[in-house]
Amino acid sequence: MAHEQHNYLNHQKGIWSWLTTLDHKRIGIMYFIAIMSFFFLGGVFALLVRAELFTPGKTLFSADVYNRMMTYHGAIMVFMVIVPGIPAIFGNFVLPIMIGAKDVAFPRLNLMSWYMLMIGAAITGSTLFLENVDTGWTFYTPYSSIKTGMGVIPMVLGVFIIGFSSILTGLNFIVTTHKLRAPGMTMNRIPLMVWALYSTAILQVLATPVLAITLLLLIAEKTLGVGIFDPQLGGDPVLFQHFFWFYSHPAVYIMILPAMGVISELVATYSRKIIFGYTAIAYSSLAIAGVSFLVWGHHMFVSGQSEFAGVLFSFITMLVGVPTAIKLFNWIATMYKGSIRLDAPMLFAIGFMFLFTIGGLTGVYLASTGMDVHFHDTYFVVAHFHYVMVGGTLMALMGALIYWFPKVTGKIYSDLLGRISWVFIFSGFNVTFFPQFILGNMGMPRRYYDYLPTFTELNQMSTFGSWLIGTGFLVGLFGVFHALMKGKEAGNNPFGGKTLEWTIPSPPPHENFDKTPVLTGGPYEYR
């Protein structure tokens, strides 16, 4: 750089200044590094799981090892990658800037959340070397409580601590959004990304404590034999499922709402049009958050709950489709007659809409009690939640990475590499998971080590697809290093974004704004 400019990256130097930083932007980067490492690990487990399923019977390792790898894959991906992912990385980086604040409300707490995630991850990860943990990411009782080994305890304890991290981040974002908006930045002028993060934060704060107590009860059950989940002692194992899904269904929206926020930003910027239905998109986030608390029972249609409960849960579940569709139609209306630029982030946004729609529609199948009896615990469910979680959240994460990369680093991410990565991920994704819908419909159960020979071709297709996805993400990672080494200087606003972060230098100065901005209009004022 010709003239060294002062920014948050060179504000202080040395590794120690990073590990003790209170700057939300640096903390965002630390989350990025940590979560991407978890993602890599979870990805390796995924590839191994798929590799084992290349042929029926034993392909590479024993059923025991398979169960453990499946468990780690699920637990890492859910609790350490997709749940914290977008809010912790991009939320931390952009939320304060987008509302014109110098930092989040509680910078120390923010740093503490990061350390909690690290400690939780270390405890959970340590079980890799301890005892068998083979419960799957849902830790269903009675298997987890009275059958399998004690390794479940540190595993669950780690997740408990990670949950704490999630609560603290959510709490921080809520107060930040309430209290630190710049003058003129009314709630009806905050960018849609902020609305999404705000709704997510509410879910994090309200749902996660229930997971916390559920996990504590599981630990109590294992250590003291309390009897709450053990039928022999008068307990009810299904109660665990009620508690677990009371958190984990809202948690699926903790995973997807921030992604929807990202998509709103991308669609507005790359269509060069004022976003259609700002209010509808904003409030549908809150609606989704609200309804998500009332639908957990759809995970238990076949658990012996009453028929009435089944019908009720089925009905309410379908209601979630309404606010979701509102968002989708508004994005499409925004794109309509816009000057769309198919840059890599926009490709990821379109990929999101495509895959998420398939995932959402198959959710309606599963929400129909009659069909769920057929599909429950089959590969159909596996395909469904991968279409929404991976097809949805990870697509958005890649889009967000390329979109905000210049702001974060001052360098442009190669659009060509982004597109190559997209082609691999998008096509690989469909090759991997579409066959799983068919497999599920044919009756292949989920979480099994072995399968009937008739299922071989479709499984091989699926495994082949997983290599394509892997390649796609490796290209994406290569793009990061490439941009850091060789990327062009970005300038303040390379993509013509209209939200506040594009008005400040890239990388931003230490305190974000030299002068507190004063807002006179809404975001996305294109035309």
Find the DSSP H helices in 105-236: 107-126, 152-179, 192-224
Within 373-412, which residues bind ligand HEM (CB under 6 A)?
A: 375-376, 381, 384-385, 388-389
Within 140-169, which residues bind another protein (CB under 8 A)?
A: 167
Q: Is 317 in the site for ligand HEM (CB under 6 A)?
A: yes
227 interacts with, out of Cu ion, another protein, ligand HEM, none, CB within 5 to 8 A per kind: another protein
Residue 224 CB, nearest distance to another protein (Å)?
A: 5
Cβ contact 284:320 at 8 Å: no
Q: Is 56 in the site for another protein (CB under 8 A)?
A: no
Q: Is 230 in the site for another protein (CB under 8 A)?
A: yes
Closer to another protein by Cβ: residue 131 or 236: 236
Q: Is 113 in the site for another protein (CB under 8 A)?
A: no
Task: With contacts defined by CB under 8 A, name the span among 113-121, 218-226, 306-314, 456-464 that binds another protein.
Answer: 218-226
DSSP string, 460-494: HHHHHHHHHHHHHHHHHHHHHHHHHHHPPB--S-T
Closer to ligand HEM by Cβ: residue 38 or 375: 375
* Cα separations in angstroms, 156 against 38, 207, 232, 243, 247: 17, 17, 23, 15, 15
Within 246-285, which residues bind Cu ion (CB under 5 A)?
A: 249
Q: Is 519 in the site for another protein (CB under 8 A)?
A: no
The SS3 of residue 505 is: coil
Among residues 170, 359, 355, 396, the alpha carbon closest in space to that of 261 is found at: 396
Q: Which residues lie across from 411 on neighbouring strands?
A: 489
Burial bucket for residue 311 (CB in 10 Å: 0-12, 13-18, 19+): exposed
* Cα separations in angstroms, 286 against 253, 323, 327, 365: 11, 9, 12, 24
Q: Is 106 in the site for another protein (CB under 8 A)?
A: yes
Closer to Cu ion by Cβ: residue 249 or 411: 249
Tokens of 4: 């060294």
Within 3-22, which residues bind another protein (CB under 8 A)?
A: 22
Measured from the Cβ of residue 1, the count of other Cβ atoms closer than 10 Å reads 7
Residue 317 CB, nearest distance to Cu ion (Å)?
A: 7
Residues that bind ligand HEM (CB under 6 A): 138, 252-253, 255-256, 298-299, 317-318, 320-321, 360, 363-364, 366-367, 372, 375-376, 381, 384-385, 388-389
Residues that bind another protein (CB under 8 A): 22-23, 101-103, 105-107, 109, 167, 171-172, 174-175, 178-180, 205-206, 208-210, 212-214, 216-217, 220-221, 224-228, 230, 233-236, 239, 243, 511
